[in-house]
């Protein structure tokens, strides 16, 4: 698949930059297509189109935007198989995961935005004062490669629903699903200039987009390092910046929990998507007197997970996304060994028989402590660190002893016990006893995991300004 144009002002246009970039299939290390690399001139054209479209689109009625979202949902539903196919090719998710999870998140977030829009209160009266929530303006949306369609949809859907216009820069590692989204929006009749797509890398497109004086808001999902750069680039114009960044989530297994169930579920959740999820439970905290038993369960679970070509039958882990990601993970696994953590299974090198492709062995370390590098840095690969604790208070202290605060996991004898511990965690989300996420709930974190919230009502709020109209409702 080749995407050699950008989508600007309702049409596919030539890139001002003359360079292209091969998109590498991580399963075989071969190009699966290419994109045009945009530059500042492309960004300027896209922002100008979004700025010109904002006055009219911001005044569209709730009913008009509802109709638009319904058409987009129908379009994404019709293209589900295409989306699943390109996501597997561009970032390596197993075909079943692309089909059952990766490709369905577009419809999930647009459907949630549709339901929110039907009942959302854009105006409320408080005594004589009327509060209006109005679209913030032109939005720069910068998205990652690990759950590419999910992150595009949870930004584009609320932006359209609230009446904003936007420029999307998808990850250059996984850009093809974004092109399909652009086609769907075009066919749905999204007015010219409301949605624009410029492909490229961070320095060429992300940087000029973040500091553009006509951009009112930047919504970014990615690494904490890149989030810092975007915040600095956006600072001169005092524009709103919403960040969903990294994580090093703790999975606290309390003494009364079903150990076999909690450990096996924790390993499977960690290894899902080859460990490339910002909210993955990468630190497993287990009672010290059950540590060895938990390690044995974890080892058995991890070694039963098949690593193979994404299209192979029964595969649970495909490759990681790129050579850069592969080398980073290999380096951190070696650091874990060098620092003295017990290597339970996995380790450096590729799985036997998989010499081509960026495949990583599902790796588990035990007898670790929270000061080790593998317990503090986000590895973003299939690597689990197991840490023993003596008391519940110590477990909470270890869990909170991190610069991140995205998610947490608690397994307990019952929900009330799990909730009591969850209340003490400095994280934006907590999963109790294996519960999944909910598109109605806010997604985001504390500390260096970011400063915004996505999904549902909170996702709407990111794209709205509040205006107080004093005396609009006199007694």
Active site residue 244: yes
- Which listed residue (172, 278, 417, 454) is catalytic? 278
Distance between CA atoms of residues 419 and 51, nearest Å: 46
Distance between CA atoms of residues 375 and 377, nearest Å: 6
Provide CB contacts within 8 A for 235, sequence distance 6+. none
Please return the burial class of 202, using the count of CB atoms within 10 Å of its CB with bins 0-12, 13-18 and 19+.
middle
Provide CB contacts within 8 A for 414, sequence distance 6+. none
Residue 379 CB neighbours (<10 A) = 25
Closest Cα partner for 122 from 461, 443, 459, 456? 461
- E strand spans, 302-453: 342-345, 363-366, 383-389, 404-405, 407-411, 429-432, 446-447
β-pair type (446-447, 404-405): antiparallel
Length of the chain: 475
Enumerate helices (H) and strands (E) in the chain, giving the number of each.
16, 22
Active site residue 278: yes
Distance between CA atoms of residues 386 and 166, nearest Å: 42
- Which listed residue (90, 112, 172, 244) is catalytic? 244
Q: Residues with catalytic annotation?
A: 244, 278
């Amino acid at each position: 698949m080749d995407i050699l144009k950008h989508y600007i002002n309702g049409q596919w246009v030539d890139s001002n930059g003359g360079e292209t970039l091969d998109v590498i299939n991580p399963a075989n290390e071969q190009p699966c297509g290419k994109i045009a690399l945009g530059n500042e001139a492309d960004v300027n054209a896209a922002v100008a189109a979004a700025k010109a479209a904002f006055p009219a689109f911001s005044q569209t009625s709730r009913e008009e935007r509802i109709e638009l979202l319904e058409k987009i949902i129908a379009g994404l539903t019709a293209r589900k198989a295409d989306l699943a196919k390109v996501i597997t090719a561009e970032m390596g998710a197993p075909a079943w995961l692309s089909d059952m999870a990766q490709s369905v998140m577009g419809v999930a977030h647009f459907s949630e935005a549709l339901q929110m829009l039907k009942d959302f209160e854009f105006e409320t009266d408080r005594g004589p004062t009327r509060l209006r929530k109005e679209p913030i303006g032109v939005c720069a949306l910068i998205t990652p490669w690990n759950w590419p369609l999910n992150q595009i949809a949870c930004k584009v859907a609320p932006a359209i629903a609230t009446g904003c216009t936007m420029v999307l820069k998808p990850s250059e590692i996984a850009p093809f699903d974004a092109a399909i989204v652009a086609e769907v929006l075009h066919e749905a009749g999204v007015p010219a200039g409301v949605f624009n797509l410029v492909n490229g890398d961070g320095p060429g497109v992300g940087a000029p987009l973040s500091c553009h004086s006509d951009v009112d808001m930047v919504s970014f999902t990615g690494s904490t390092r890149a989030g810092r750069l975007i915040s600095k680039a956006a600072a001169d114009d005092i524009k709103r910046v919403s960040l969903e960044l990294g994580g090093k989530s703790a999975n606290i297994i309390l003494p009364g929990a079903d150990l076999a169930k909690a450990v096996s579920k924790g390993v499977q959740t960690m290894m899902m998507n080859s460990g490339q999820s910002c909210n993955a439970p990468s630190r497993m905290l287990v009672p010290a007197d059950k540590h060895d038993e938990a390690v044995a369960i974890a080892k058995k679970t991890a070694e039963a997970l098949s690593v193979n070509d994404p299209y192979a039958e029964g595969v649970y882990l495909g490759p990681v996304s790129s050579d850069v990601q592969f080398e980073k993970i290999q380096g951190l696994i070696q650091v874990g060994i060098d620092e003295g953590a017990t290597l339970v299974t996995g380790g450096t090198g590729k799985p036997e028989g998989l010499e081509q492709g960026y495949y990583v062995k599902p790796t588990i370390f035990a007898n670790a402590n929270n000061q080790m590098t593998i317990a503090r840095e986000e590895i973003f690969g299939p690597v689990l660190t197991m840490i023993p604790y003596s008391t519940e208070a110590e477990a909470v202290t270890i869990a909170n002893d991190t610069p991140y605060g995205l998610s947490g996991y608690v397994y307990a004898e019952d929900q009330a016990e799990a909730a009591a511990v969850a209340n003490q965690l400095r994280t934006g989300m907590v999963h109790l006893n294996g519960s999944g996420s909910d598109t109605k709930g806010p997604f985001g974190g504390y500390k260096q995991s970011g400063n915004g919230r996505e999904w549902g009502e909170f996702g709407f709020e990111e794209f709205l300004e509040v205006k107080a109209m004093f005396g609009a409702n006199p007694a």
